[in-house]
Amino acid sequence: MNEKNAALVESALKEYYFGHFDLIHVPPKPTQREFGYQKINGGMTRHLSIKDNKELHLLLMKEIPSDVYCSNAYYSFPSVPMSEKDWQGADLIFDIDAKDLALPCRKDHTISKCSSCQQIKNEGQPQCIKCGSTKFEVSSVACKNCIDKSKEEVKMLIEILTNDLGIKNEEITVHFSGNEGFHLRVVNSDYETLDSQERADLADYVMLNGMMPETFGIRRQANSKPLLPNMDEKGWRGRVAKTLFGSKAKIPKVTREITFGGYSTFQLKLEEMRQTIGVKVDPKVTMDIHRIFRLEGSVNSKSGLTKIQCNDLDAFDPFVDACLLGDEKVELTVNCPVSIKLKNKKFGPYDNEKVALPKYAAVYMICKGIGNAI
Amino acid sequence: MDYISPEDMAKYPFLAETGAYLKDKGLTLEELGNPDWKPAITKAYDRIVAGISGEIYKSNLEEPDIEILSFVIAVILLKKVGIPTLNRRFSLAEARRVERYLEKDLKWDSQDSIKEHLRRKNESHSISLKILHDQFNLDVTTNEDSFKVKATDYLKRAAHFHEREWKLVNRRVEGGMVHLSSDETVRLIRKELSEFINSRIQAVNITFVPEAFEKPVIELGSLAKKFSEPATFSGEYPPCVKHAIEVLDKGENLPHSGRFLLATYLLAKGQSVDQIAPLFKNAPDYNERITKYQLEHISGESGKGTKYQCPSCDKLKSENLCFATAECDGIINPVQFGKRRKS
């Protein structure tokens, strides 16, 4: 990020941190967690120990970090090198990101910009029309559909966590990630001691990864009789049955088709179901038991939006509720071929033009790599 | 459940109650040297030979005392021989023998009439549930041939199994509980059971063994040689490693987990950091200094000296880095690819 951009973003962050201590808290068991942060254009500083909100707020004011993180893990000695921390357990975390949902709207709000000359690339263009470079930087901007679809994934995940895995609703917190998705945190003593491999299997469960036809009595040998699930069953069996049959009236017909189709046809059906009804979480996040995860209440430097708790998921609008930077007007040049809605105001499209925008929108453009402070 | 019958002790001779039972009978190690006990020594030897050959020894519950003694003597013989491979093989075979009884008892104990009987006697646990609870911290809820364990207890065990049928997604999961059959429930603790038996062998503290034990000890020592055959390496890369190399060759981005796989695999195959580092030169974000730093860290040359192991096939599957072919059959980690035991 160039100096002018950095100065503008930093001033917005400073204002934000100073005025929003009420939103930024240390999570439970703070003294057992590892904290870390990044400054604009700086590397990661981690293995920090912070004992309370006061100490955290002091760090934010002193360092004005662009991103702040805190471990999902609890350690005996959080500030020493990883091998000596003495891992005690970790909250179960899930990351749902719109970019992983393969949504058709993505192409409408994804901007590719030439890495050398900043020229915007049009769809299907293999190289920059201005300088011929083949290297592009890609960024995706605000889209309501992406958020709505991500919310559906969150709801499905909560349904699985509560109904299948016995986790209580009050043990789950949902946060907007600060960019294009949601983070879920589960604080439950039974699950906190699971290791990485065990969490990977749990992630596969919610994603419907690895379900075998044999689970339904369908074997490679042709003479096996299917033991198809019942639509009233709980867990994945019931969900699979509902997807397979649609309605009770169709059960005999679908059962015949499955029996006739055999192993590989059913395997393909399971694969289709994985894509349609499996929850799209990032398994690498869930299985990482040493991750430092974005801190609630901090700003995400990929957008300038805040990672904020969603108490009412349906009503939550990240482009209003998480857009918390100042609204003082600042001038910048913006090259954005699509329009963006923040705080219920429409911005753009802009064709490499000089505009005066409220700070929250200016920071958003800069963070997305489509705006430059003057 | 306070009383354990001799028959139960014969099925589960690793229980602490067995020691007290033998002590009550006045049986000491010196006493076992007496020719009267020769059949028990022979049985112990046979029990070990069957176990280390991969067979499941058949217990004779009609002679519980000899059964119990043959296990105790087998443990002493193995401790005296002192070859870890024999201990491991024996422990695994014993675990599988115990599993059969546990499964049978679990089924029996789950019957409503038995549960009612226990309730009347004010006993909450029958033998199988007691063993699972006390020794392995596994609480099982039973209801007429239906068995349930907590999802976390299931994951802590089954997530380390390599057969796909054990993946949680292939199980009936409801309200935080996983539904299992009796044999599946018992299978969950096979590794712990085997490790527990092995730990009992390790824990034996003997300063003296009767003369009658010497011959079987020598024979077991020579038998052990059979189980230390060398393995050969075909020199082929597994498909996941090939894929990682191809991605890098094309100058495409290989995720961190793919780079970790490549580095740990090649380090495990004896390559040095300097030999591996050039492979990453084509990566879009290549930085010589950082690559070297990370490789040295993974190899244990820097940092705290922890040498990281190559991730398992299961982990690679979860990370979408597995491209298994027929040649991968039976392996659980890429480093095993191409290894064949000499037959």
Question: Is B125 or B194 the better-scoring residue by pLDDT?
Answer: B194
φ/ψ (deg, to 5) at B134: -70, -45
Q: How far apart are CA A86 and CA A233, in angstroms?
A: 42
The residue among A164, A236, A237 with the most chain B CBs within 10 A of its CB, best to mutate, is A164
- Cβ atoms of residues B138 and B149 within 8 Å: yes
| DSSP state letter for A118 | -
Q: What are the distances in angstroms from CA B335 to CA B160, B264, B269, B309, B339?
A: 17, 9, 8, 10, 8
Is the Cβ pair A190, B150 closer than 8 Å? yes
Predicted local confidence at residue B114, as pLDDT? 62
The alpha carbon of residue A133 is apart from the nearest alpha carbon of chain B, in Å, by 15
CA A247 from centroid of its chain's CA atoms: 34
Question: B interface mutation test: which of A188, A205, A211, A274 has the most B CBs within 10 A?
Answer: A205
User: In the structure, what pLDDT confidence band is assigned to residue B284 with cuts at 50, 70 and 90?
Assistant: low
Q: Does B297 touch chain A (CB under 8 A)?
A: no
B65 close to B6: Cβ distance less than 8 angstroms:
yes
B169–A84: do the CB atoms touch at under 8 Å? no
Tens-place pLDDT, residues B64-76: 889 999 999 999 9
pLDDT exceeds cutoff 60 at B343: no
Record the tokens describing residue B86, joined without a space.
């024999």
Residue B165 sits at the chain A interface (C-beta within 8 Å): yes
**A197–B314 CB contact, under 8 Å:** yes
Q: Which residues of A are annotated as catalytic? A: 95, 97, 282
Could you tell me where the DSSP H helices lie in B25-150?
A: 38-52, 64-81, 84-109, 112-120, 127-136
Domain ranges of chain A: 7-101+142-205+282-373, 209-277
Q: Does B332 touch chain A (CB under 8 A)?
A: no
Q: Which of A305, A329, A344 is nearest to A141 (CA)?
A: A305
Q: Which residues of B touch A237 (CB under 8 A)?
A: 172
Burial of B89 (0-12, 13-18, 19+ CB in 10 A): buried
Tell me, yes or no, if the pTM score tops 0.90.
no
Other Cβ atoms within 10 Å of A223 Cβ, number: 5
- Between chains, do A205 and B173 touch, taking CB under 8 Å as contact? yes
CB proximity B269 to A under 8 Å: no
**Along chain A (374 residues), what's the average pLDDT of each consecutive run of 10 residues?**
93 95 93 96 94 96 96 96 92 96 89 80 78 82 92 98 97 96 93 95 96 90 79 94 94 90 91 96 95 96 96 96 96 92 93 94 94 91
Q: What mean pLDDT do residues B169-184 have?
A: 94
Cβ–Cβ gap B152/A190 under 8 Å = yes
For tokens 């490499």, name the residue.
A352
Q: Is the CB of residue A284 less than 8 Å from the CB of residue A94?
A: no
**Considering only alpha carbons, which residue of chain B is nearest residue A213?**
B170
Q: B163 — contact with chain A (CB < 8 Å)?
A: no
Peptide bond into B210 cis (omega under 30): no
pLDDT at residue number B232: 44
Q: Which of A167, A214, A283 sits opposite B319 (nearest CB)?
A: A283
Does the beta-carbon distance from B156 to A194 stay under 8 Å? yes
Tell me how crowded residue B7 is: count the other CB atoms within 10 A of its CB: 15
B83 Cα to chain A: minimum distance (Å): 31
**Following DSSP, what letter does each residue of B219-262 receive, concatenated?**
HHHHHHGGG---EEE--PPPHHHHHHHHHHHTTPPPPHHHHHHH
Q: Judge contact between B41 and B213, C-beta under 8 A.
A: yes
For residue A153, give the nearest of A281, A308, A272 by alpha carbon. Answer: A281
CB-based contact (8 Å) between B314 and chain A? yes
Structural fold of domain A7-101+142-205+282-373? DNA primase, PRIM domain (3.90.920)
Residue B36: pLDDT band (50, 70, 90) is confident
Tell me the pLDDT tens digit for each residue of B199-254.
989 888 888 888 888 899 998 988 887 665 444 445 688 999 998 888 887 767 78
Spatial separation of the C-alpha atoms in residues A350 and A333, rounded to whole Å: 9
Give buried/exposed letters for A143-171 (b at 16+ CB in 10 A, else e). beebbebbbebbebbbebbbbbbbbeeeb
